[in-house]
Chains A and B, each alone.
Chain A
Amino acid sequence: MKQFIRGIAENNHYQPTHLLQILRQIQAHYHYIPEAAIEQLSELLSIPRTQIISVVEFYSFFHLTPRGQYELLISDSITDHMLGKKILFDYLANKLGVAAGEVRKDGVVSLDNTSCTGMCDQGPAGLVNGYALTRLDRPAIDKIAELINQQKPLNEWPSELFHVDDNIYKSGLLLDRQIEQGAALRSAFKRGIKETLKEIDNSGLRGRGGAGFKTAIKWQFCSEEQQTERYVVCNADEGEPGTFKDRVLLNSYADQVFEGMTVGAAVIGAKQGFLYLRGEYLHLNNKLQGILDQRRRNGLLGSNILGSGLDFDIEICLGAGAYICGEESALIESLEGKAGIPRNRPPYPVTQGYLGKPTVVNNVETFLAAAAIAVNGGDWFANIGTEKSKGTKILSISGDCDRPGIYEYPFGVTIRTVLNDCGAADVQGVQVGGPSGTFISNQELDRKLAFEDLATGGSFIIFNSSRNILDAVHNFTHFFAHESCGFCTPCRVGTSLLKKQIDKIVEGHGSAGDIVALEELCQLVKNYSHCGLGQTAANPILTTLERYLGLYESHLKEISFEPGFDLDGALETARRMANRHDASAHLAQTESEHE
């Protein structure tokens, strides 16, 4: 082991910033992070062992105790559930003889749930040793169980298990035509870098991650910073359940995304860029490395790019299963090899980002658009969309519709149009912008997708009238409780309390006061949390309470209060150990039952 770890550390130049990448390799090799490896890394990287342990414990894909040689994770997104995930999961668990969260006795396989893997258009989905599995059904599971029991190496598994489709059903301004490799850079250099920034400014391009900050202003702020060491970061930590557009962009439009990053580097004067790729998209890594190599060979990355004097290169860093790393300051922490805990803002990353240096962090789609704007000019983009939301938005559509996949629309499109295009019938509601966004009912289908009305990072999950909305709320609330980074109390404790309270209501233990308590708790978590995760974690509850209060109330009991847990069940262990069978060894769930 010593040799192996030393080798990895050496390949990573003993840089603590590479800790995540190092741990990923150790986890992949040993299926956990052995104590001895931590000790050795602590010495090799000159960082305390506790710091390494904190990173291991923070990320879902790292483990301090051994997982199976085949680490199976099944996506727990609501969209997977709508496709029958639960029954399949039980079938799989049964087939393999291993329970959720456990490692089989022979150590061959472990099974667990994981947050949305970004395959909502082709679920139920999962991961095996980090590689995406799609369209799981009984035959596929039979096959997987067989392969695992035969201990077949992953590279001998049939490729259809790993097949990922793009599913682009509607293309527009950006997806219609990919720019020619190098075209954006040539245009930018020809036009002049300042003028190119002006074009991006004129285009009205706003950040595509959801927040919608104007891209040109961000780039300009960064370029005006005193410190000359600057960085460009592409945020491909697409973790919002229901979002998968970046997966498609990086599968089929990556060259243009890298080109957009390089244009950004030219504008702000950066020498180094990073693509922070969510761990769930490991299957894209080799392809992306190949494209980077090709760009280097073609003089589009490296030193003196296209003879312009610009030196710039891009490194791909993989995440390890943490939704919070999609928050830009948490992402930067993660890039630095630390736990992804959001920083205080200000200072914003444009002034103090990666290693404290000015850094531009943008979404994959933003860089894609920036490259196209560098070629086609600002007006080309600004002529489309609405007054405050220029251009197009790429949507990831999933849930109850005939054609789940990728759709590109000019901003300002109505929900109704989108629903018609993807073949959604009998719609009850739509989750716009993922769990952190808004749930709208079928009374609001004329609302528009735009920063002026419904802002979105691209997630669009459709629910037809056969669905119970509370199932979705329940799923999303559990998601946030799982993904809270634990830094601030309102979010760490609050999201768990929300989970408990929603469980209580969904499981039928709620009474009138519980809705009031739930709403108060929502406001507390929303208003007092440190970052966007906590501030939006209550959105699934708040936006559905507003629209479907009757649905919540229908789950309530008439009595004034009932405990949210099984009181008599809570005595079971003590009863068994004390060997008690008398009446006083039992408790009624409510007082009235006593009398």
Chain B
Amino acid sequence: MQNSSSSKALSEREDFIMTKGDNKENIKCDQQSLAGAVSQRACVYSGARVVLNPVKDAYHLVHGPIGCASYTWDIRGSLTSGADIFRSSFSTDLREKDIVFGGEAKLELVIEELMEAEQYKPEVIFIYSTCVVGVIGDDLKAAARKAEAKYGIRVIPVESSGFAGTKSKGYKAACEALLTLMSDFKAESIGVENKKMAVDSRNEIKALSQLNEDYSNLNTKEKIRILQKKLSQINSLQAGRAIEDFKNKKMKEQAENRRYIRKINLLGDYNLAGEGWIIENYLNDVGIELAARFTGDSSIEDIRKAPTADLNIVQCAGSMKYLAKRMKKKFEIPFLEISFLGLQDSLDSLRQIAQHLGDQIIINKVERLIARRLPDTEAKLRIYKNYLSGKKAAIYVGGAFKAISLVKQFNDLGIKTVMVGTQNGKESDYEKLKDLTDPGTIILDDANPSELEAFMREKGADVLVGGVKDRALAYKMGIAFFDHNHERKHPLVGFEGVVNLAEELDLTINSPIWKTIRSDIDG
């Protein structure tokens, strides 16, 4: 049994694959792809593009040969409630002579054209670097500075040369660009100041209360002095004046809290099929407002205001935890890792957010929202469970956060996960996957079609969950397929999403087509 997983793969790939329950404790991940293995991964540029492109009123200019722009033009399903200039592809379309003589001159001309065109009014331009630009050494920073000075707009380079790492590095490059945009936010703006004051006063009270607790190390005299002081405080409280003071202070503090604490940023949601809107609806329902979205349906204005928020919630950790960490350091905004993929995770996330905000009204409203939505959802899921229980699923997706949520949801639906892998998972993600799956499950990083095929066959998978490229493979093998990609047109978050997931699994797994072709497959 040992190495049953590895024998299907190239020897260099063996360390990236394990069978749960076998000797191997963990797998390698987060490495450069193996040449010739037909990795499903993309590049640094693609990572940057996925994360940054949904900023709806920004101009996304790809500095490179046409292919990079062409293959990424409007292929993602991020929906917008307003501007849609982000759906247009802008490119410098570099040619041979630009490669020889350098692309900076063309970049300058292209920006000039963009600024002079009547139909365009850029306020922010993101310039994406590509492979060749990285090699020929165009100075994007200088070009950006020059354009900013000339046109008085924001021009932000994105360091996304394709070869210079993996997709995760592109996520970071995009996050850096977003941070640059946020740095436009001025400290004198209300949010940060207010927040700072509130934090100061909270700390004061906290310090005072701690001081009051501990008398053990004090000598008698000091102890008496403190107790006397406290007594006089109590006396003055009794006198009434202090009571008012205290009340006022408390009220002021609460008002202060209220002013900012209900505003949060949603990170790592790309509003695919309106998923960001669904999450926002829940939050609004319980009295929470979104300051900014990163980056589905986000505007430049939103992002600039993001530092005023008091909490960041991170949906897709793989792409945006980095930004959350940076914002914590820079703007002192705490963050919560949440997930609205899956029922239990959605409930937990709502409760976690409410608990973090510490507002009893919000906590109550969350419970009411759950009470209102849960019974229907569970009833529907029970129906689908009848159809799905006992089926076997293989999962191969880009982000580990998706994989983890899928395994959990499959467990709930009685579907057994027989193979699970990701393109960009980290060690901790694979630990989680190991905990969630049954012995015998294949776990793998940066897989290729040959491995997917071999393991799906070996494990007798009924359905593959994956991206566009994997769909045809599943179908050719006579296996059902569930679309979990950036092009999807059905939301998978929250109460709506879990039902959509079950429904789509049912319609593909239990389609009459498999019965029709059974004789071809078995015979």
A binds B: no
